Structure 1
Amino acid sequence: MSPRLQKRWAPAMLGTLVILAAMTACTTAPPADTPSGLTQFYSQQIAWEACKGYANTAIESAVFAQAPTMECGRLEVPLDYQDPDGKTAHLAVARVPARGQPIGSLVINPGGPGGSGLFATAATAMSLPAARLTESFDLVGFDPRGVGSSEPAIDCFTDAVADSGDIILSTQGTAVQWTEQNTKDILDQCAERSGGVDVLTSVGTRDAARDIDVVRAVLGDEQLTFLGQSYGTRLGAVYAEQFPQNVRAMLLDGAIDPTQGTVERRVGAYTGFQRSFEQMAAFCATQADCPLGDDPTRATEKFHQIVRPLYEKPVPALNSDLGFDEAIGGVVAGLYTEAAWPRIIAGITQLRQGRGDELLQLNYDFSLRDAEGRWPNFAEALYAINCMDEERLSEEEGSALRTSIFEAAPFMDPGVALTGARDGCEHWPVEPTLGYPYATGIEGLPPTLVVSITGDPTTPHAGGIQLAESLGAALLTVEGEGHTIVMAGTNQCVNEMAADYLIDLELPPEGASCEL
């Protein structure tokens, strides 16, 4: 869920990346089974170069600089796979060469949707500097179509407008009240700034999964080795559904349940945030001067007393102000990881003193806004991709969903009567293309591995169990709190089992578990 941008999007996830100076070329012949009409894309070359020009913010530049062997390039794909001779898109791709003799590429997606694969690749190289994975694989990430440094990228508003906090891309989990004109204006503005309606309608997960197969072929890999996290588990599962014969290994971490539709899954995610809020409150209660009091069962009530006044009267925060939705967004951003709980508590304490600096900074940090006020396009890409993936809701259904969300996560309830929970995609010119359920009953898929944390705040553990069942995958259960774990490199138990699988294709034993 978003920080400062929490008014416009729902739960997600990210990673980190950087630069090399020499230019090389990756030549590849088209595979014998190249899909009809796509030879020009499957047989292209990537001209690798330094990554400096691929950064969109100072944060990205700094992270890229920490991965000095990383190189970047662009890959051309059809904007519409049904019209391969028509318009094209150019994906930004990054590669960190293996420290040893590579057995192939490990393609990474950090989630979102809207997370940058370039950033994730650099981050993974930094967090796993001496790991078996970086010894054995070229780490590869790409910004999916519409995301980050890929072209065209989804663009709906300026950085200055993002800083204003007035952007609206979603009503769910917020106190935003929309009109039909609002949702029409959103579509028109995004289309104008992104290069046309056809760009907005080309960014669904099914097309992004087809792009992965082009990436695989151009890298020279006969089969794909893939590590997907959060939304990346959906992207990987859809790839497996479309190209099971091209999968070598697939590790899916922080799994989305492929059998749940939009409403059920979103309510489940917010239920997870309420659980994490209560866990945070219990931690807070053990400390002196906890702003939520010493009785965790009353934490939501205490929180309401502090945060609900912001609905009518925001408080000063950094160079702006902090309203109710931004405060909720800052708390939710911190709930993704137990390590951020002290920052949430400090932010709530600060609210009692009439300031919102820490909670607004949590928003900024989660969104990767840099100190110069530049934002990545995460929120905009998430919005457009979800419009191509998620079930479309009527205003009545949207209002019912918002009511269900506040029932599932009462700490987020503004305590006022709300209307206008319209679907931000209601004027989208095409129907969603994902379909539910997806990735079930796949034939010919090699053994895969799902990793799931029991206390995951946004992709509940039950979803990991279900994805493993749907794919016939092995399940590694991680006992603890947090969202995704494999790319962090912080847990030796997880590190070893992930490496055993991705390198040697050795699955964990049935019932395997690790602890955070």
Structure 2
Amino acid sequence: MTTRSRARVPLVLAVVVVVGAGLLAACSSSHVARLGPDAVGSSTTSSVSATRPSPTSGPLARFYTQRIAWGSCAEMAPDGDYPPDRSDCGRVTVPIDYNRPDGATASLAVFRLRAAKQSTGVLVTNPGGPGVSGVDYMAGTAAQFAREPVGDSLDVVGFDPRGVGRSTPAVRCRTDAQRDEVRAKDWVDTSPAGIAATEQRNAAVGQECLAAMGRDFLAHLGTSDVVDDIDVLRGALGQQQVNYLGYSYGTLIGARYAERHPTRVRAMINDGAVDPSTDPVDDIVAQNTGFQRAFDDFAADCVTQRGCALGTDPARATERYVTLVRSLIGRPASTRDPRGLSYGDAITATGQALYAPSLWKYLRDGLAELTDGRGDTMLRLADLYEGRDRSGRYDTTADAFTAIRCVDGPAITDRATLDRLDTELRRTAPFRDDGRGSGRGAADECAFWPVPPTSQPHRISAPGLATTVVVSTTDDPATPYAAGVSLARQLNARLVTFRGTQHTASFEGDQCLDGPLTRYLLDLTPPAEGLTC
């Protein structure tokens, strides 16, 4: 379920839905869009986009030289917990198509926490996704940054990427009723007719987005354009260089910004890394393996707690779990909300809770409720992931997530590959197996997407890049530890290891980790070689 992001905000990392298996495969990258079957595995393909200059004259100059009209964040972030006397919000204008700078534009929402003392620069943050709001992230974490040494010396900035959150236009393709309808149905039929129905639904998503957003906008939603937006943001902030802190999918943005604009990076931390060179099939399998490992860790803890619905034997926890949730197929659990809890929502809720041990309690309580036929806690967890509030209104995260990842790399379209993947996912993540496997897999939305990809998987090359840092967690359920190792090698970065079962770790209170990262951001002293926390 890539996450789409970190545990502090609704998690939406990078989901590749193989509905025939009833799985949400967490990812954080975006290696899915429309190419032919031979594109799968093209992990050495060179970058599609060349380096663009930072112009002081010419048609792009008006974007780089704009100045942000800062004002109150009361309207843009009304529910945040941030110091209002140090927080400003504003907007940056970017061209939708950088090759047509005199054409249509987009407006990016920006949140700034001003340095408590003399500002020495800017730290640009991205919480992940794709599709997660950087404004919401900053509104929720600005108070923490304000207490940190980083917030003394650096302006900390978050932004909503094009198509996301409060940026305009924002991607919204499906109605709230359509979202509820899809979630209520059990997509577990792997007969030929069932696969056809699933693919018909997935194909409809692209057509709905095309009708709602237009072809030109959909074609320019990808990471390739976002990295240039960050460079425009740098110019609008009046900076020669930026410091960058990216989590999850945000590490893909960071890596590709470093590749395209290496000399404009002063310092960069990528935490919960996406490997830009990975094969999309291998990526999905690795992430599912990570979620099963996280489930096993949750189960080992749960069975020590009184009343655990998974029993007392961790070796049988997966068996007991699937028996419990498969009973929902065709028979949703009752909830105070009239929707009930579907099988798919139970799987989504479980994945949401596996992002961080702080959420395990809610999963434990939710599973205990299920033994009594009730699904309220699980439904709330699923709604958190899906971006649905208590009034029934969905945010834009899921639609933006799909639209962005579908232009960020090759789709999996080869029928034999889809069939093998379905079988492999059931093997590597048995807690997500609906028990209806037939050796057939369904193609997801990106296989039918109406615009081509703007990026390809490839190894990052960034000559002239300063020393950067990659943080990788040993049992990260969404972004495997090995992906961080690979990204550190590609960027020639300092690798920091965090031991734990969670998605991302930096600036969450662990001083073994936060202390060296803070020193790095402030005075460019890299963490010690081999640092493990």
TM-score, structure 2 as length reference: 0.86
- In 1, the alpha carbon distance for the partners of 2:384 and 2:204 equals 28
Instruction: Say if 2:354 is the partner of 1:339.
Output: no
Counterpart in the other structure of 1:22: none
> Pick from 126, 144, 164: which aligns with 1:109?
126
- In 1, the alpha carbon distance for the partners of 2:133 and 2:495 equals 26
Instruction: Say if 2:73 is the partner of 1:51.
Output: yes
- In 2, the alpha carbon distance for the partners of 1:108 and 1:374 equals 27
Q: Is the 8 A contact 2:81 2:141 kept in 1?
A: no
- Could you give the per-residue CA deviations for residues 436-477 of structure 1, whole angstroms, max 9, x where no partner exists? 1242x3211100001111121111111111111110000111
Cα RMSD for the two superposed structures: 2.5
Counterpart in the other structure of 1:37: 59
In the TM superposition, what are the counterparts of 1:81-480 in structure 2 within 5 Å?
A: 81-166=98-183, 178-193=197-212, 195-319=213-337, 320-394=339-413, 396=415, 397-417=417-437, 419=440, 421-439=442-460, 441-480=461-500
Structure 1 residues 281 and 43 mapped into 2: Cα distance closer, same or farther (>3 Å)? same
- In 1, the alpha carbon distance for the partners of 2:272 and 2:84 equals 25
- In 2, the alpha carbon distance for the partners of 1:75 and 1:427 equals 32
Secondary structure in 2 matching 1:511: coil
Q: Is the 8 A contact 1:124 1:487 kept in 2?
A: no
Q: Which moved more, 1:500-509 or 1:33-42?
A: 33-42
Structure 1 residues 459 and 295 mapped into 2: Cα distance closer, same or farther (>3 Å)? same
Secondary structure in 2 matching 1:451: strand
Structure 1 residues 123 and 438 mapped into 2: Cα distance closer, same or farther (>3 Å)? farther
Counterpart in the other structure of 1:18: none
Q: Is the 8 A contact 2:82 2:143 kept in 1?
A: no
Q: Is the 8 A contact 1:454 1:477 kept in 2?
A: yes
- In 1, the alpha carbon distance for the partners of 2:142 and 2:473 equals 23
Give the gaps of 5 or more residues in structure 1: 14-30, 56-60
| Deviation for aligned residue 1:404 | 1.9
- In 2, the alpha carbon distance for the partners of 1:4 and 1:247 equals 28
Structure 1 residues 437 and 12 mapped into 2: Cα distance closer, same or farther (>3 Å)? closer
Counterpart in the other structure of 2:40: none
Q: Is the 8 A contact 1:308 1:414 kept in 2?
A: yes
| Deviation for aligned residue 1:127 | 2.5
Structure 1 residues 158 and 253 mapped into 2: Cα distance closer, same or farther (>3 Å)? same
Q: Is the 8 A contact 2:413 2:443 kept in 1?
A: yes
1:136 counterpart letter in structure 2: S
Counterpart in the other structure of 1:16: none
- In 2, the alpha carbon distance for the partners of 1:181 and 1:336 equals 31
Q: Is the 8 A contact 2:266 2:466 kept in 1?
A: yes
1:189 counterpart letter in structure 2: E
- In 1, the alpha carbon distance for the partners of 2:11 and 2:73 equals 28
| Deviation for aligned residue 1:180 | 4.5
Q: Is the 8 A contact 2:92 2:109 kept in 1?
A: yes
Aligned residue pairs total 486
Q: Is the 8 A contact 2:352 2:381 kept in 1?
A: yes
| Deviation for aligned residue 1:68 | 5.4
Structure 1 residues 289 and 177 mapped into 2: Cα distance closer, same or farther (>3 Å)? farther
- In 1, the alpha carbon distance for the partners of 2:82 and 2:122 equals 22
Relative contact order higher in (CA < 8 Å, ≥ 6 apart): 2
- Could you give the per-residue CA deviations for residues 160-188 of structure 1, whole angstroms, max 9, x where no partner exists? 433445389x99xxx98745432332112
Structure 1 residues 292 and 150 mapped into 2: Cα distance closer, same or farther (>3 Å)? same
| Deviation for aligned residue 1:431 | 2.3
- Could you give the per-residue CA deviations for residues 235-271 of structure 1, whole angstroms, max 9, x where no partner exists? 0000011111111111001111222121111111111
- Could you give the per-residue CA deviations for residues 98-146 of structure 1, whole angstroms, max 9, x where no partner exists? 1111111100000011111101112221223311011111111110011
2:503 counterpart letter in structure 1: H
Q: Is the 8 A contact 2:303 2:312 kept in 1?
A: yes
| Deviation for aligned residue 1:7 | 9.4
Structure 1 residues 290 and 176 mapped into 2: Cα distance closer, same or farther (>3 Å)? farther
Secondary structure in 2 matching 1:47: coil
- In 1, the alpha carbon distance for the partners of 2:199 and 2:288 equals 26
- In 1, the alpha carbon distance for the partners of 2:16 and 2:274 equals 22
2:524 counterpart letter in structure 1: L
| Deviation for aligned residue 1:191 | 2.2
Structure 1 residues 449 and 73 mapped into 2: Cα distance closer, same or farther (>3 Å)? same
Q: Is the 8 A contact 1:258 1:467 kept in 2?
A: yes
1:104 counterpart letter in structure 2: G
TM-score, structure 1 as length reference: 0.88
- In 1, the alpha carbon distance for the partners of 2:446 and 2:133 equals 23
- In 1, the alpha carbon distance for the partners of 2:75 and 2:333 equals 38
Q: Is the 8 A contact 1:147 1:381 kept in 2?
A: yes
Counterpart in the other structure of 1:504: 523
Structure 1 residues 35 and 256 mapped into 2: Cα distance closer, same or farther (>3 Å)? farther
Q: Is the 8 A contact 1:271 1:408 kept in 2?
A: yes
Secondary structure in 2 matching 1:444: coil
2:514 counterpart letter in structure 1: N
Structure 1 residues 243 and 338 mapped into 2: Cα distance closer, same or farther (>3 Å)? same
Structure 1 residues 297 and 179 mapped into 2: Cα distance closer, same or farther (>3 Å)? closer
1:472 counterpart letter in structure 2: N
Instruction: Say if 2:32 is the partner of 1:11.
Output: no
- In 1, the alpha carbon distance for the partners of 2:471 and 2:366 equals 32
- In 1, the alpha carbon distance for the partners of 2:380 and 2:84 equals 26
Q: Which moved more, 1:153-162 or 1:379-388?
A: 153-162
- In 2, the alpha carbon distance for the partners of 1:434 and 1:75 equals 24
